[in-house]
Amino acid sequence: MPTPPENRELSPYTGWTRAHWETTADRLLLAVRPFASPRHGLIDLPGPRPSWSGARSDGLEGWARTFLLAALRVAGAKGEDPYGHLDRYAEGLAAGTAKPGTDDPDSWPLTTDTRQAIVEAASVALGLRLTRPWLWDRLDDRTRRQVADWLRPALGASPVDNNWWLFGLTVAGFLQDAGIDTDRAAATIDRSLARVDDWYLGDGWYSDGDNRAFDHYNAWALHFYPVLHAHLAGDRELLDRYGPRLRAHLDDYVHLFDADGAPLPYGRSLIYRFAAAAAPWLGTLTGHTPLTPGATRRLASGTLRYFLDRGATDTNGLLTLGWHGPYPPLVQEYSGPGSPYWASKGFLGLLLPADHPAWTDPEEPLPAERADTVRPFAPAGLLVQTTAADGLVRLHNHGSNHVHSAEAGEDDPGYARQSYSTRTGPTTGPAPADNHFALVVEGRPTHRGPAVPAGTGPGWAASRHTPYPGVRVLSATLAHGRAEVRAHLVLGAPEGTPVRQTGWATTPEGPSAQLHPVHGYGYPADGEAVELPTGETLQGPGSRTRALHGVTVGPTALFVALASLTAEPDPAPVADLANVLVTGHTLRVTWRNGTTARLDLDAIDTPDPREDPDLRGTPDPDDDPDSRDHPHPHHDPDPRDAPEPEDL
């Protein structure tokens, strides 16, 4: 299949057009065909191991997620299907649902027996909804009954109390359109949306369940399913409720994409790769977006090209389990060989007609290319920092945690780091943790555990954590340009406790990192950073990470450092970018351009009732969860009190 020619007049940043998207979709779909079962009911892709749901579930996953891609491809072409994608999936649909739960080589697992099948039911239902005139309406009555019977159990309560509620919503939306169990479907939609609303914190941000998990699931699940359902149903009331939330989220989300197209590798399920483009396409599809059409295509095409140009597919044209190529540390236990094909969501833009401005307007630059930015995402406790000189994106985490994080428990590298970027780490065990502040107890660095947000403001964010029983750490990041001030106030540690601050984990071909002591560091020698070998990251092998060491003095000890990550050639020392004056626990920073910042750590160190039993039940009169620049801590439901939902 020939590659379409680039069009640098229409797409000066990526060269890509709609034809490239269509060709890529066809190539991905044709590549999985050799791995189909005899009647195309399962697609059993090769991989290093099955998921924890088993090989039969993985075969369904390979079928359902590629079916969603086929549905977007054909629906976007108004039914034109030159490669006969839907014919194969129609045959597989009939075969998979004829004897579900049996050992027949094409049979699907039952959703009542295999919970993962509920996830895949959403992709099946969405694909059927998108292609109804060309597939569902042409099926015989028996096959339609089989499929409806297989889907129905997904209308029940979600077995997992997080974004899984939206899988039942998606199944219900299709059944309602098809006139099947409409009353029960309507009830499922209402119940599912009500549960998701419980997790909406404002400014476009949801928590993924009763916890503080903020990651790409905000975009490719928590916004994706409700807004797309409202659009497909033509439900103006729902779209008026959920569309503005999507718009608000995209206003932040667009800052998480590097000039080279990379989305920020942060959180879990990163093997879905260019599914990160789904929400920007959805905003354009529904009219709820702050992005221009040209900027939307530039983001989406840049992201798709980023992965394809860096080996996301193997020699057989199959998506691998990793980031660029295969990378086992990135793969969760719930992921199998077919899991990466949730990237199909990134092709949502094919639903836009060929003459839509998103396909015909010239590409426009991303925020990371236009200007330096330091922007807090207040509900999530995150701070994004971008630099136009190199298009690099950094994210400082002061409030997001993996659902299973616990004090003094093991850290998840995708959530527990202080900072993430589009061109570095994170490191994985047993390598030293990058971007991490730790006490060193009996020769071993402590874990971070849950980060409790302590506030955000113009150019800064702060959080608390408990790395060791009886010890509390207040951490803050101030940023400007490429410079970062990292401060940690340690309370309650025994006198002379060693501490360690690590910086960015950079690979030989990556950007350059700097880490410079400002206050409190001076061990083992003069306080200057040492370099640690930290092994392979998702960016490649051979990473190295700088580290500073110090010891606590007194009941409270303050440690301050300057850090920098840049792809600029021959960067000036980070100490030249900022002058930091420390007075007590107050930081006064003068940046290189003469602007100043001040942060009083004592003023934001209001003890959290969850950390001090004597303060439980004492409200914070200044608490305002909707203020992006509020100077006081925002207390959210305790993630330690949340149930432990199984991940997707």
pLDDT digits (tens, 9 = 90+) for 126-171: 999 999 999 999 999 999 999 999 999 999 999 999 999 999 999 9
What is the signed CA dihedral for 433, 437, 443, 447, rounded to 10 degrees? -70
Please provide residue 439's backbone torsions phi and psi, each rounded to the nearest 5 degrees: -75, 150
- Closest to 249 in 3D by CA, of 211, 268, 276, 210: 276
pLDDT in tens, 81-100: 999 999 999 999 999 999 99
Q: Which two tokens stand for residue 318?
A: 């199959």
**Quick one: pLDDT at residue 625?**
30
Kindly indicate the confidence band of residue 105, based on its pLDDT and cuts at 50, 70 and 90. Answer: very high
With a cut of 70, say whether residue 216 has pLDDT above it. Answer: yes
Classify residue 290 by burial, with Cβ atoms within 10 Å: 0-12, 13-18, 19+.
middle
Q: Which two tokens stand for residue 438?
A: 């730790």
Element holding 21 (H helix, E strand): helix 18-32
**Quick one: pLDDT at residue 134?**
98
Measure the CA–CA gap between 353 and 362, rounded to whole angstroms.
Answer: 16
β pairing state of 392-397 and 419-421 = antiparallel
Kindly indicate the confidence band of residue 528, based on its pLDDT and cuts at 50, 70 and 90. Answer: confident
Helix axes 55-76, 116-130, angle to 10 degrees: 20
pTM of the model: 0.92
Own/partner pairs for 52-59, CB < 8 Å, 24+ apart? 52/333, 52/334, 53/114, 53/115, 53/116, 53/334, 53/336, 54/109, 54/114, 55/336, 56/107, 56/108, 56/109, 56/114, 57/109, 57/114, 57/116, 57/117, 57/120, 57/336, 58/336, 58/337, 58/338, 59/338
Kindly indicate the confidence band of residue 640, based on its pLDDT and cuts at 50, 70 and 90. Answer: very low
- Closest to 229 in 3D by CA, of 154, 280, 179, 168: 168
Distance of alpha carbon 121 from the chain centroid: 22
With a cut of 90, say whether residue 615 has pLDDT above it. Answer: no
Helix axes 85-98, 141-151, angle to 10 degrees: 70
Q: Find out whether 506 and 513 touch, Cβ atoms under 8 Å.
A: yes
Own/partner pairs for 522-525, CB < 8 Å, 24+ apart? 522/550, 522/551, 523/498, 523/549, 523/550, 523/551, 524/549
**Quick one: pLDDT at residue 510?**
96
- Rounded to the nearest integer, the mean pLDDT of the chain is 92
Element holding 500 (H helix, E strand): strand 498-506
Measure the CA–CA gap between 257 and 276, rounded to whole angstroms.
Answer: 9
Q: Give the 3-state secondary structure of 525-577.
A: CCCCCEEEEEEEECCEEEEEEEEEEEECCCCEEEEEEEEEEECCCCCCCHHHC
Kindly indicate the confidence band of residue 628, based on its pLDDT and cuts at 50, 70 and 90. Answer: very low
Please provide residue 42's backbone torsions phi and psi, each rounded to the nearest 5 degrees: -130, 155
**Quick one: pLDDT at residue 620?**
32
pLDDT in tens, 436-461: 999 999 999 999 999 999 999 999 99
% the chain with pLDDT above 70 = 92
pLDDT in tens, 306-341: 999 999 999 999 999 999 999 999 999 999 999 999
Q: Which two tokens stand for residue 549?
A: 């060491």
- Closest to 78 in 3D by CA, of 145, 18, 132, 21: 132
**Quick one: pLDDT at residue 173?**
98
With a cut of 60, say whether residue 269 has pLDDT above it. Answer: yes
- Closest to 151 in 3D by CA, of 126, 186, 183, 187: 126
Helix axes 293-308, 18-32, angle to 10 degrees: 40
36: helix, strand or coil? strand
With a cut of 60, say whether residue 278 has pLDDT above it. Answer: yes
Q: How far apart are the first and last CA of the chain?
A: 34
pLDDT in tens, 562-596: 999 999 999 999 999 999 999 999 999 999 999 99
Kindly indicate the confidence band of residue 408, based on its pLDDT and cuts at 50, 70 and 90. Answer: low
% the chain with pLDDT above 90 = 89
What is the signed CA dihedral for 244, 248, 253, 255, rounded to 10 degrees? 140
For the segment 535-548, the average pLDDT, to the nearest whole number, is 97
Please provide residue 410's backbone torsions phi and psi, each rounded to the nearest 5 degrees: -65, 140
With a cut of 90, say whether residue 361 has pLDDT above it. Answer: yes
Kindly indicate the confidence band of residue 555, based on its pLDDT and cuts at 50, 70 and 90. Answer: very high
With a cut of 50, say whether residue 607 has pLDDT above it. Answer: yes
Q: Which two tokens stand for residue 152?
A: 């129905």
pLDDT in tens, 372-395: 999 999 999 999 999 999 999 999
348: helix, strand or coil? helix
